[in-house]
Amino acid sequence: MESIYPRRVPVMGNLTGNGWTVASQESVLSLIVVLGSSVSLVGLIFAFITYSLFSDLRTMSGTALMYMLANMFLTQLFYVVGVGGVQEDNLCMCLAFGIHYLRLAIISWLCVMTYDMLITFRNNVNLNPRPEPVNVLISRFVKYSLFAWGVPSLSVISASVMRVTINHQNVDNLNPYNCWFFEKTIYNLTFAMPALCCFAAIADSLVRSWLTARATVGLQVDKKTRLKMHRKRTLQLHLYVKIATLLFAVNVFGYVARNGSPASDPVAWIAYNVGHSLQGILVALAVTCNCQVLKIYTRSFARRRRRRPRNGSATALFDKRDNDISDTTYLQNLTWDPVPLPV
């Protein structure tokens, strides 16, 4: 298995001092990265398919979440390609631009999701949100898309211009970091600063959403309705907090690793590789557990195993009272009963 350590940076020393060789360290970390990335890709596919099939989950926030999952899936693929270094200069350049764009797109879509949550909490003081006109939803989604795709596009254009003017597209500075990062100055200006601004906006939206949720929950007269609203708002808020915390930690480790040296300070480099390889499955688990998809799946399988023939005739696999999936066969109207909690 190829090493994930930089090819032109001296290999780090012994981590434990107890007989671990450099080859052993490289093999273990490479195995963790490959296995973690593989599991993350499977988890992201599962989460994306879940949100694609069932209309109850395709809200504005759910659609933005699907775009974030798609970007995260592509990021994991590009990340695996760079393991062990890239020999071709053109491939290295494409990999650096692709990962740069996708990582910033993930953060941008998370920023959109938290802002949309704030707008939803403000505009809906009742438990069930009132339907909005289609033209309003389309206009809002277009604005969200322009921001989420525009910020990383401008960042990539700026990075490309800086690379042309500074080093004339030389890839020697990209190879030491497996073509995952641009040069230090370009990385800090075109990725670290926009990402920091997005995370600041995310934190602001989360805090304001929490304050708004507290105020709207307190307005409910009925205790049962108040508890339901509190649970629903808290689930969505906690989901975004977990995703934002995970992405922020991974990007902080990446920033420290890029501005430092894996040879002299391997902790940040190892933490970044492990965190980046596992972030996909962690986000997928957080998303699916938040909308209780796994609970519905396991309950359906358990009921299927409990079904037994009665009076010598096989019973239907699902009857009316045990059916977790609605009777419709039209994919756009395919829903669960009971309805899973949307994002």
Domain extent at residue 75: 27-125+135-164+175-305
Render pLDDT for 33-56 as a digit per residue (tens, 0 to 9): 888 888 999 989 988 888 777 766
Dist CA 93 CA 251 (whole Å): 21
Distance from the Cα of residue 229 to its chain's centroid: 25
pLDDT for the residue numbered 340: 53
DSSP, collapsed to helix, strand or coil, labels residue 310 as: strand
288, part of any domain: yes
324, part of any domain: no
3, part of any domain: no
DSSP, collapsed to helix, strand or coil, labels residue 313 as: strand
For CA atoms 17, 23, 28, 30, give the dihedral sign. positive
Render pLDDT for 217-273 as a digit per residue (tens, 0 to 9): 877 777 787 888 888 888 889 999 999 999 999 999 988 888 876 666 678 888 888
pLDDT for the residue numbered 314: 45
pLDDT for the residue numbered 177: 66
Report angle CA 247, 149, 131 to the nearest 5 degrees.
90
Intervals of the chain under pLDDT 50 = 1-23, 309, 312-337
pLDDT for the residue numbered 235: 87
58, part of any domain: yes
330, part of any domain: no
> Measured between alpha carbons, how far apart are the two ends of the chain, in Å?
39
Return the percentage of the chain with pLDDT > 90, whole number. Answer: 26
Which of 38, 93, 21, 68 lies closest to 343 in space, CA to CA? Answer: 68
pLDDT for the residue numbered 107: 95
Q: Quick check: bond before 338 cis, omega within 30?
A: yes
pLDDT for the residue numbered 308: 52
Provide the total of helices (H) and of strands (E) in the chain, helices listed first: 9, 0
Residue 181 maps to which CATH number? 1.20.1070.10
In the block, tokens 């990402």 appear at 195
Whole-model pTM over 0.75? yes
User: How many folded domains does the chain comprise?
Assistant: 1
